[in-house]
Amino acid sequence: MHKLKVFIVGIVINLCCIMTYAQNRITGNVSDVNGESIIGASILEKGTTNGTVTDIDGNFTLNVSEGVTLQISYIGYTTQEVVVTGRPLTIILEEDTQTLDEVVVVAYGAQKKVTVTGAISSVSGSDLIKSPTGSIGNALAGKLTGVSTVQYSGEPGADAAEIYVRGVTTLNSSSPLVQVDGVERDFTQIDPNEIESITILKDASATAVFGVRGANGVILVTTKRGKEGKANISVTASTGITVPTRLLEFADSYQYASFYNEAQIRDGVNPNNVKFSPEMLTAFQTQSDPLLYPNMNWLDYILKDYAQQSQHNVNISGGNNFFRYFVSAGMYTQGGLFKTFDTGYDFNFDFKRYNYRANLDFNLSKSTELSLNIGGRVEDKNTPISAEDQNQLFRHLYWATPFSGAGIVDGKWIKTNPDVIPNPGSDGLNPYYGRGYNNKVGNTLNVDVQLKQKLDFITKGLSFNVKGSYNSSYAQTKSRSSSKAYYVAVKNDDGSMGYRKYGEDGTLGYGESFDKGRNWYFETSLNYNTTINSDHNLGVLLLYNQSKYYYPRTFTDLPKGYVGMVGRLTYDYLSKYMIEFNMGYNGSENFAPGKRYGFFPAGSIGWVVTEEPFMKEIKDYISYLKLRASYGVVGNDNTQDRRFMYIADPFYLDGSGYNFGTNVSGKRGGAYEGAKSNPDVTWEKAYKQNLGVDMYFLNDRLMTTFDIFKENRRDILVVPSSLPSYIGMSLPVLNNGIVHSRGYEITLRWDDKIGNDFRYWINPNLSFARNKIVEQMEVRPNEDYLWRTGKPINQPFGRKFWGFYDETANERYKTQFGRDIADHSVVLKNGDAVYVDINEDGVINDDDKIAMGYTNVPEYVVGANMGFEWKGFDLSMQWTGAWNTSRMLQETLREPLGDTNNKGLLLYQYEDRWTEETASTAKLPRASITSKANNIVDSDLYLVDAKYLRLKSLELGYNFNAPFMERMRLNSLRVYANGYNLLTFDVLKITDPESRTSDRPNYPLTRVFTVGLKLGF
Amino acid sequence: MKINIKSLLISLTIGIAIFCSSCVDELKFGDSFLEKAPGVDVTLDSVFAKAENARYFLWDTYAKLYYGLPVYWNSVDNKMNMGMFETLSDTWHSHLSWDGVNRSYYNGTYNANREDTSDDTKFGFSKENTWEAIRKAWLFIENIDRVPDMQQTEKERLKAEAKVIIASRYFDMFRHFGGLPIIDKAYDFSLDESYYQTLRATVEQTVEFMTTLLDDASNVLPWALDEGEISNWDGRFTKAAAMGLKCKILLFAASPLFNDTEPYSTASPQDAVTNYSVWYGGYKPELWVETLKACEDFFREVNTQGRYGLVQPTAATPSAYREAFRKAYYTRGSGGDNPELLISTRVRYTYGDDYQWDYYFPQSVMNGAFTPTLEYVDMFPLSDGTPFDWNNPDHVDLIFSDRDPRLFETILVNNASYQGRQVELWIGGREAQQGPKTEQGQFATGFGLYKFILDFTSARNRPTLWPYLRIAEIHLIYAEALMMAGRTDEAIREVDKVRSRVGLNGLRGSNPNNDYGNQSILLEAILNERACELGFEDVRFFDLIRHKRAQDFKKVLHGLRIYRLDENGNVVEESWSDKPANERGPRPTEFRYEKFQLENSRRSWWTNFNSKWYLSAFPTLEVNKDYGLTQNPGW
């Protein structure tokens, strides 16, 4: 077969040679964007019949004169024109996204894009790879419509964004179903080099087949597979650095102490009795005695300027008519930002990931294909053991006061002597220093075996498919805890400095714990595709699947099981009129027998208007116009670890009991009643509608897609909070919640060339999604505007800040509202926050809160993907913006001095506070301790706009085309530099706009710069 | 028809592979693939199918009783976020800026919404496990008769204990809220709102509900545990407990807060006033008669049945007095080792560490959550019972040496013995440091808490308890009831019983100039006695409330700065005990005292007190559930 091909190619080339013997002989190579050779691409001298095709290495030779134009074309790729210069030509063909044959991945299969009637968006792996982020999910927002993400953390190995498909749509978990190669799996730690494409299924038509699992949208990740042809080896290596996008800035010791004193004096404390004496203030300022009166910028002290990151991948793919393969090995490392000082062991954050994959396809016969996927990874993650618990490291770090310690001096960890500075708070080393580290090594293995058997012998177009998958994960966490002695500086009577030692240096302890996970999946299906009278295309899919998940969090001994039937019927007439019917029939043991099975149907229709004769005339302007509509029901049984809610009201015999007696150390046993169950409990249902238009203009150079959707989510599980407290029982959950949501998505794609060398593209998109709680069994609030029902899920509420109190405030307030400033429960002093009395009852309390701002999840996400290619250079950028999102500043970010008045003070809290001098420009209330109860309540003072526009990623590359490459047998050689989170434009300023501003702040988000080299053999 | 043998073989192989991947599972499809629901091991039926399980159910109900000290970070045991509402009275002040006392009350920001959103109000209507305890108790009462392997007498006894639990939890709420919905059964779950319509009862109905439960229980319960039962079962309710609790409840009900010619507040909303949910609708002297009768009944039983009485000192020495007093409030063994204790509640046996995470009370103390006021210190007489007088230099000389022994047992004062030495509460002293000067921390007022925590070390590994009710209090309740009945001499005799236990002379002997025939003078004496005897036992705050003593809530409070003087009269801001013995000179004996007004933090009540504060607000959303709960006046 091979030989034959080569022979034919040879003959063609020879023929050409003969015909054009008088001309120059030029050579060239044709490959795709991934550097894979294209075999059989046609090379034609423009306007002539002089041409050739490429050989199995993608090479060609042709005799042409200099200056003529060659047309290079291949099915599925955009035709390119190149002017012959005499030098060898390197031609990279772009996949043609517009061809009618283009297929997209859909649930349980692939579909021709032209016949798709649902709402689907997808992105190729090669696009995603340009973002040097550890978790591929971080690159999705702005790349694809219908996806919003919030990346709260930059922690190595734990920086995956929260992903929402078409926003938050339910009061319970809104996380979408994620499948990798058709099986539910996590995708955040997959090597991006392994990914062929990611598809987002958004509407009912696309997701109904997932039944009780599909209501939150579905993310389908498809890994790469080998193509017939010679082996392509691709090697990528990159290295770079990560730096925090933004760190909180704290007040220094002097600022802190003066703020504190000012607060006390304003609160009525005698200036002679304030906490920080003038001597202390001077010492802070002059730093005359840094051991007794330190001034530390803790984040600066404990964090490095940058950490290192690297990413490497080798993959090889190819195959012949019996066997095709894609084999990949990758490694990703990211270091942490913490200095380790002299502890003698490495407790810094650190993450290493080793990914491997082999996707193999065997054509066992002409009609039988066997596929075997083995993919997996080893993750090695280091984290410092931190105070309280592992989620509170940064919370405690932000609590540190600048004078609470002097850091490490002469190898001694110095904390502030509380006899010198009373109640100094905790220092910045305390949350983690000397406490040891955890090292978690996890091993994940995914295996798929699939057999596709064509049953053409029964009827043409029928095929049978069976697939089994097994996933296992296992992790060992070694806990090496330790302790460290600290010292307190003491001034001796003779003025010399001594130290008092506390605690002992511990040795590293050893403890270990294990996590395990195991699940398997089985599916079998019949597929039938046929064309009747060459006009009617019919497709039928019938599929059965079942899956089992072991060690669930509740009822760990009872695995979770699902069974499902899937049906799909697609029909189109001349690819002009499409109709599609999808259905899922699912069972889950979480619900009572008799209520276990749900039927989820969805229907959709499509009409390609441009295929109609009457559109012929304007086809030059509108080259393609398709209208789509879908409606259907999808379910959601994600009950957040609650299982078997229907079984009889449970009681338990392992209660804490009671310590009777006079000298009995134990307790008498206890029995108690559990939460009431609900025998009628069932899953949530999402009724989804989608209308879409696809329009291409100007010979497909401008492509647009527009989708508008509505969703009615019903039967959401809620706890009936409207029942009296006096019944004293743990209430059951009921299917009584309703949430409505709606939104739209727009994609534009402009792709054009200027001249022959300059190709550029701009691909902006916009997604909008908004939800509204319609029913959640809420108790009537005192005022109508306090209803949470009717507002978006997690809508923030707060008081409306009016201004700062001063002598004229009442008068001004009265002019504005015609009434006195309301009773604020505290005696207002100058510089205190005055709030608007919303209900005009003369008292400021929680009834004066109004809905304000937005939630953490943005309603609008905008993306702009653009770039150009010129000669060997290419540049691509992804801008992502989000708006209609807010952050409520909490804890350290809001409350000066913290709840115990010896915690952190942010610089902005110091600088922006109200004083007599800054009254006109102040943004925050006066320094105070007693008035904090009034001044730091939830209000628009602390609800900040978290909109942002980000240069999420940028890649600049150069593809060499040099003679030495041939000697080195290199097909392609690319050097590039790229970055992640490079620029951020926002209004939040004090912290990264995506970061968590609650009382559980995370590791700072990072900016990444890398340089890389990519070789193709 | 050609079927490729190879592909058949492969199919087979894959079939086997899939089968193997499910390893231990049987190959199942469809409905049979789904897991069987777990059998519910325990149901209501199985709990009450076995005596042991049924008892377990009641023991767990006991675990939901009131415990006064803050000990743990959950919404119930955290009290007021490490604070206690006793620091709203004039005897204690909180210097813990983040506790609920500071956050909601001292700054005046408390309101009904706070009861919805916060766990650190003084007593939440729905967040203190009261209703959970009541439900459990009713479930127990309704089901215990089904238990096959239990004697009827034990069933009746356990039922009676459950009734005392209900009454005590009702009283825990009653003193904060007034009349309550009467819950006389364990409710089922229903979405039918009418099923839950339960009007808020009047004060009278609520009191009757509690006392009827207690009367029922008294008829069944043993007077005291058998001597042999005490070591294993101390803490269970007895007849003495039920009868004593009845006295306490009736005293509260008969007091002017509810029993007066006018309601305590005229602020709107007034529904609870017009419905008599926060008062009796007028002055009813018979309530005092009832209280008196309950006390008489109680002491008649004590006289006939014995087992209970004040813990008496073993000798007439200050240390013996102190020992007797400490034993009375802080030793387990009701009717045994501690004849005085009627009800004690527990959350654990002992704690061994001041930083124990699940008994954090010592840390609460160290954080300054409970600092005694000078006003309180001044309430304690000299050791012979003579009232302390700052204007008498002889008294000032004896300020920390010759006082009511209960002062030293309740409050840590300068020079008191402490961890094997003497505590230094002067400014610059080893313990106080700059605390009293900057008014911060454990010794912000110049004094510290001693009750329950002692000198820290000696409280460790000692069985813990909360003295919910002890006989000293019943004597003082009896005194108040006698006073109201005009039986002044008998009233004074009851007070004197409590005084003499710690070696004080009687009221009349100590205060020859007071005319105790004047009810208000006698009442002051009784309330003062209650404050000294029952300090930090949740008594003073309620005394101020039930007697509507706005003047005490408005009283600006003070601390005491103590300056150590050298022989020349100069202030020495240094520790003495941490210096080497050869350098530090003689033990400091000269001090200068400076009263100072508390300002860190001030209480808004000092300037803005309003009678609405006597009772708490119901959570706004609870009222809005519209089942019949009326909000208290002013909220």
Q: How confident is the model at residue B11 (pLDDT cuts 50, 70, 90)?
A: low
Q: How far is CA B630 from the centre of its chain?
A: 26
- Output phi, psi for A127, to 5 deg: -75, -35
Interface test with B, best of A522, A664, A672, A731 (most B CBs within 10 A): A672
Q: Once rounded to an integer, what is the mean pLDDT over residues A307-336?
A: 95
pLDDT mean over B146-160: 96
- CA distance linking residue B611 with residue B258, whole number of Å: 13
Least confident of A6-20, B140-154, B178-192, B200-214: A6-20
Across A229-247, average pLDDT: 93
pLDDT in tens, B545-556: 999 999 999 999
Chain B contact present for A554, CB below 8 A: no
CB B243 within 8 A of CB B224: no
Kindly report the average pLDDT of chain B as a whole number. Answer: 93
> Does the distance separating the beta carbons of B104 and A662 come in below 8 Å?
no
Residues 6+ apart with CB under 8 A from A947: A858, A881, A882, A883, A884, A885, A986, A987, A993
A728 → closest Cβ in B22, B56, B131: B131
Binary contact (B97, A596; C-beta < 8 A): no
Extract the tokens encoding B598: 């508390």
Q: Residue B405: what pLDDT?
A: 97
Exposed/middle/buried for A511, CB within 10 Å: 0-12, 13-18, 19+?
Answer: exposed
3-state DSSP helix/strand/coil % of chain B, to nearest 5: 45, 5, 50
* Numbers of helices and strands, H then E, in chain A: 11, 52
Which of A277, A673, A786 to probe by mutation at the B interface, max B CB count within 10 Å? A673
Q: Does A815 touch chain B (CB under 8 A)?
A: no
Beta carbons of A660 and B232 less than 8 Å apart? yes
Least trusted range by pLDDT, from A885-889, A897-901, B209-213: A897-901
pLDDT of residue A8: 43
Mean pLDDT of A707-720: 94
Cβ of A587 within 8 Å of Cβ of B31? The answer is yes
Beta bridge partner(s), residue A1010: A240, A978
Q: Which residues, 6+ apart, have CB-to-CB distance to B390 below 8 Å? A: B378, B396
Q: Is the peptide bond before B269 cis (omega within 30 degrees of 0)?
A: yes
The region of weakest confidence among A45-54, A647-656, B57-66, B591-600 is A45-54
Distance between CA atoms of residues A884 and A900, nearest Å: 34
pLDDT digits (tens, 9 = 90+) for A777-834: 999 999 999 999 999 999 999 999 999 999 999 999 999 999 999 999 888 999 999 9
CA gyration radius, chain B: 29
Residue A75 has pLDDT above 80, yes or no: no
Which residue of B11, B27, B33, B60 to mutate against A (max A Cβ within 10 Å)?
B60
Residue A87 has pLDDT above 80, yes or no: no
Query: Which residue among A365, A665, A780 sits closest to B349, beta carbon to beta carbon?
Result: A665
Query: Does B599 contact A666 at a Cβ distance shorter than 8 Å?
Result: no
Taking a C-beta distance cutoff of 8 angstroms, is the pair A244, A984 a contact? no
Q: Which two structure tokens, joined as six digits, stand for A223?
A: 């890994």
**Whether the predicted pLDDT of A408 surpasses 70:** yes
Select the residue of A269, A671, A900 nearest B98 (Cβ to Cβ).
A900
Which segments of B22-109 does DSSP mark as H helices, in order? 44-47, 51-62, 100
pLDDT at residue B580 is higher than 90: no
Residue type, A981: N
Please report the pLDDT score of residue A965 as a whole number. 83
pLDDT surpassing 90 at residue B150: yes
CB contact under 8 A, B56 and A671: yes
Partner-chain residue, chosen from B63, B433, B601, that has the shortest CB–CB distance to A267: B601
The pLDDT of A903-918, averaged and rounded, is 95
In this prediction, residue B10 carries a pLDDT of 54
Under a CB-based contact definition with an 8 Å cutoff, are residues A656 and B77 in contact?
A: no
pLDDT above 90 (res A389) = no
Q: Per-residue pLDDT tens for A12-39?
A: 444 444 444 445 778 888 888 767 778 7
Tell me the helices (H) and strands (E) count for chain B, helix number first: 26, 10
Taking residues A507-535, report their average pLDDT: 92
Least confident of A100-104, A148-152, A930-934: A100-104
Q: What is the pLDDT of residue B4?
A: 52
Of the partner residues B107, B332, B337, the one whose CB lies closest to the CB of residue A933: B107
Higher per-residue pLDDT: B513 or A642: B513
Question: Strands, DSSP E only, in A385-425?
Answer: 405-409, 412-415
Confidence band, pLDDT 50/70/90 cuts, at residue A497: confident
Q: Is the dihedral of CA B360, B362, B367, B372 positive or negative?
A: positive
Output the six-digit token pair for A593: 């027998």
Is 80 exceeded by the pLDDT of residue B21?
no
B123 has a pLDDT exceeding 70:
yes
- Answer whether A69's CB lies under 8 Å from A46's CB: yes
Distance from CA of A995 to the nearest CA of B (A): 26
Span A529-566, pLDDT tens digits: 998 888 899 999 999 999 999 998 888 888 888 899 99
Cβ within 8 Å, pair B347-A659: yes
pLDDT of residue A96: 63
Q: Which of A270, A452, A658, A777 to mutate to test the interface with B (most CBs of B within 10 A)?
A: A658
Is B163 within 8 Å of B58 (Cβ atoms)? no
Q: Tell me the per-residue pLDDT of B493-516, one tens digit each, with 9 for 90 and over.
A: 999 999 999 999 999 999 999 999
The pLDDT value recorded for residue B19 is 47
Tell me the percentage of chain A whose pLDDT exceeds 90.
Answer: 69
Q: Are B34 and A449 an interchain contact pair (Cβ–Cβ within 8 Å)?
A: no
**What 8-state DSSP symbol labels residue B309?**
-
pLDDT at A23: 58
Question: Are B85 and B122 within 8 A, CB to CB?
Answer: yes
pLDDT one-digit tens code per residue, B351-398? 999 999 999 999 999 999 999 999 999 999 999 999 999 999 999 999
pLDDT exceeds 50 at position B106: yes
Exposed, middle or buried by CB within 10 Å (0-12, 13-18, 19+), for A190? Answer: buried
Contact check, Cβ <8 Å, A933/B109: yes
A790 by Cβ neighbours in 10 Å (0-12 / 13-18 / 19+) ranks as: middle
Label residue A933 by pLDDT band (50, 70, 90): confident
**pLDDT value for A319:** 92
The pLDDT value given to residue A3: 46
**CB proximity list for B54: less than 8 A, separation 6 or greater:** A671, B47, B48, B140, B143, B144, B147, B150, B158
CB-CB neighbors (< 8 A) of B346 in chain A: 658-660
Residue A817: predicted pLDDT: 94
| Neighboring chain A residues of B189 at a CB cutoff of 8 Å | 676, 727, 729, 731-732
- Percentage with pLDDT > 70 across chain B: 95
- String of DSSP letters for A596-654: SEEEEEEEEEEEEGGGSGGGGGGTTTEEEEEEEEEEEEEEE---TT---TTSPPPEEEE
> Which chain B residues are closer than 8 Å to A586 by Cβ?
none
* Calculated CA dihedral for residues A677, A682, A683, A684, nearest 10 degrees: -90
Max alpha carbon distance in chain B (Å)? 124
Q: What is the pTM of this model?
A: 0.86
**Per-residue pLDDT, A9:** 43
Partner-chain residue, chosen from A275, A367, A652, that has the shortest CB–CB distance to B440 = A275
pLDDT score at A38: 80
Is A268 at the interface with chain B, CB within 8 A? yes
